[in-house]
């Protein structure tokens, strides 16, 4: 429906969707799949951030408990000491693992967004035809808007 606004007099389109060619439908389906992948990757990044936050809290709790035992604030109990050491070590492992996963996922998101942008650039939004982006059809920066009178006037 959006292609109808910039029709430019082309009435020779035949497709399953109005104003969209079959190759265009394939591109749109690919873009939809890439966007679904991006949503999954974004959810994975959110999960990693939550787990990283929880692991930091566990590391802090374990270290605080070890410090309290060392300073005598809490009575010495070998099971509590071993548990707090395990919390610090386990929290560190989970923190490191999720940090590296977060970095890799962020890199994949960046590459996927670039792929999506490339797919979108192949669509000619006005004609509904595939149009590879080349130097010949790149319009470059837009010209400045026309003003009927100058911004600054000398005199009345």
Q: In whole angstroms, give the CA distance from residue 92 to residue 110.
A: 27
Rank 2-11, 19-28, 101-110, 145-154 by mean pLDDT and report only the highest: 101-110
Mean pLDDT, the chain, whole residue set: 78
pLDDT at 35: 95
pLDDT at 82: 97
In the three-class reduction of DSSP (H, G, I as helix; E, B as strand; rest coil), residue 72 is classed as coil
Instruction: Give me the mean pLDDT over the 139-148 stretch.
Output: 52
pLDDT at 11: 37
* Dihedrals phi, psi of 8, to nearest 5 degrees: 55, 30
pLDDT at 59: 98
Instruction: Give me the mean pLDDT over the 83-95 stretch.
Output: 97
CA distances from 116 to 30, 33, 40, 128 (A): 9, 10, 15, 17
pLDDT at 97: 97
């Amino acid at each position: 429906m959006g292609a109808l606004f910039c029709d430019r007099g082309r009435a020779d389109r035949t497709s399953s969707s109005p104003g969209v060619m079959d190759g265009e439908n394939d591109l749109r389906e690919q873009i939809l799949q890439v966007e679904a992948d991006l949503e999954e990757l974004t959810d994975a990044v959110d999960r990693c951030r939550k787990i990283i936050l929880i692991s930091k809290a566990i590391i802090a709790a374990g270290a605080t408990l070890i410090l309290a035992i060392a300073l005598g604030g809490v009575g010495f109990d070998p099971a509590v000491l071993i548990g707090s050491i395990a919390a610090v070590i386990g929290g560190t492992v989970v923190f490191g693992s999720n940090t590296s996963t977060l970095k890799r996922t962020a890199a994949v998101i960046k590459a996927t967004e670039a792929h999506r942008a490339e797919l979108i650039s192949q669509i000619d939004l006005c004609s509904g035809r595939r149009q590879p982006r080349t130097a010949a059809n790149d319009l470059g920066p837009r010209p400045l808007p026309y003003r009927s009178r100058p911004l600054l006037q000398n005199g009345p």
